[in-house]
Structure 1
Amino acid sequence: MKSNRSSIEFGIIGLGRFGYALAETLASAGKEVMVIDNNEDTIKQIRGIVQEAFVAGALTQEVLEETGIQNCETVVVCIGEKVDTSILTTLHVINMGVPRVIAKAFSSDQGKVLEKLGAEVIYPERDMAIRLANRLVYSKALDFIELNGDITVSEIQVTEKLIGKTITDIDVRKNFNLNIIALEHGNITTIEVSPDTDLKEGDAIVVIGRKDQIAKFEAHIAY
């Protein structure tokens, strides 16, 4: 059962819908992935996709060490619905010295415990709900990511009001306290955006700033 690899980029424990999709997406991006789950059929299904896949009925520290999960650079514990198992598994992985441990949580209480253990905590359902709500509220936003506090990254569709104008013309830094961090044209994303760049139909700009300022900018460029 023990892995012969000296190191691997990502380890994922728990292959529910979230864990499986995460493993599949990382693997398709060319990342090295190790997975652990208690369902033999699921492991058989994913074995041809990831580098290493192990069936583990009990997630004791000894069993985890046998898989070699401690050699991963990042481990994501995707068993948030089983609170006791989630907490103990996260503790084991942290105790094994994994540099970065991320754990899924379903409640704030569970998240607080996981944070105290030293894990980064994610709340997939809550975060997706917030992201969808923001996309519905900010109608021009193609995508929306909240950072710490009130700072947000938003991808905004170029409207008719902006077509033909340059980055200097719209001057979002002066007028809205926003910074443009990328420009998308077709399938090409540019992160070095020239002040003389003309905005075209179908373009999108990616801005970072406070949520209320993004709302003001959206209202300004509305049709």
Structure 2
Amino acid sequence: MLKYKSTIPFGVIGLGRFGFALAETLADMGKDVLVLDSNEDKINQIQDKVGNALVTPHLDKATLKEAGIQNCETVIVCIGEQIEISILTTLNVIELGVPRVISKAISAEHGKILKKIGAEVVYPERDRAIRLANSLTSSRTLDYIELSSKFAISEVKIPEQFDGKTIIDADLRKKFNLNIIAIVKDGEIFVDIDPDIILKENDTIVILGKKENINRFEKTLLNL
């Protein structure tokens, strides 16, 4: 039986490397997580961390309901390699009325089907590859997160040429159509962006915009 109250913030189905790391991280952040997997050894490894981890040999609708997955606000289906099971499990979770369902996909075709049945889709392997490629090709790019086919967030280290300039002077919105959504200065994060903040070399800015504009900005930094 579940120890949880009627509403559970997160449910994670499938304890592969992605699912295990996700459940563990959510638990470390103090979030209540319900974890389901068919492998008893994996459940035993994580049950002390998440509080509610259940062995579920099958992922049909009746089993999921008995486990209490319908009580979750967000469910992440982390079954990528077994595409048929991934799709059917996602559909069952959606039909049980979970407000937000996110599913791991391993191909564009897999993701397309998951979207059609109503799930949000993540591509862990592709996203890691994109982030690595961007960090390898720009010495100033610290991290890169693709939000969609058009938009991304990039974490960029400020070069010497920007030292002493204010946000207004840099004027990334006008020059590159990019928005600064956070600044890291001396280890402190600022999210209320004052246009008069003075940038220093090696400060970090987090920018949001179209991927083509981010690429254009990063190429400019390489040529400074």
The answer to whether the superposition gives a TM-score over 0.5 is yes
2:81 paired residue number: 81
Matched position secondary structure for 2:162: coil
Cα deviation digits, residues 35-85 of structure 1 (max 9, x gap): 001111111111111021100111121111111111000111111111121
Matched position secondary structure for 1:47: helix
1:102 paired residue number: 102
Distance 2:201 2:129 in 1: 30
Letter in 1 for 2:178: L
1:90 paired residue number: 90
Distance 2:26 2:94 in 1: 22
RMSD, aligned α-carbons? 1.7
Letter in 1 for 2:166: T
Residues 123-138 of structure 1 mapped to structure 2, 5 A cutoff: 123-138=123-138
Unaligned runs of 5+ in 1: none
Letter in 1 for 2:192: E
Letter in 1 for 2:169: D
Cα offset, 1:177, TM superposition: 2.1
Change (3 A) 1:145 1:41: same
Q: Is the 1:135–1:141 Cα contact (8 Å) retained in structure 2?
A: yes
Distance 1:13 1:193 in 2: 38
Q: Is the 2:127–2:145 Cα contact (8 Å) retained in structure 1?
A: no
1:152 paired residue number: 152
Matched position secondary structure for 2:58: coil
Matched position secondary structure for 2:80: coil
Distance 2:52 2:196 in 1: 49
Change (3 A) 1:109 1:221: closer
Distance 1:136 1:167 in 2: 27
1:71 paired residue number: 71
Indicate whether 1:36 and 2:33 are aligned: no
Cα offset, 1:86, TM superposition: 1.0
Moved more, 119-128 or 210-219: 210-219
1:165 paired residue number: 165
Indicate whether 1:140 and 2:174 are aligned: no
Alignment TM-score, normalising by the size of structure 1? 0.92
Letter in 1 for 2:70: Q
Alignment TM-score, normalising by the size of structure 2? 0.92
1:18 paired residue number: 18
Cα deviation digits, residues 177-210 of structure 1 (max 9, x gap): 2221111113221111212211123311112223
What percent of counterpart residues are identical? 55
2:45 paired residue number: 45
Letter in 2 for 1:10: F
Unaligned runs of 5+ in 2: none
Q: Is the 2:140–2:221 Cα contact (8 Å) retained in structure 1?
A: no
Q: Count matched residues.
A: 223
Change (3 A) 1:162 1:115: same
Moved more, 36-45 or 163-172: 163-172
Matched position secondary structure for 2:160: coil
Letter in 1 for 2:15: L
Matched position secondary structure for 1:70: helix
Letter in 1 for 2:206: V
Matched position secondary structure for 2:48: coil
Distance 2:4 2:136 in 1: 48
Letter in 2 for 1:62: A
Cα offset, 1:211, TM superposition: 2.9
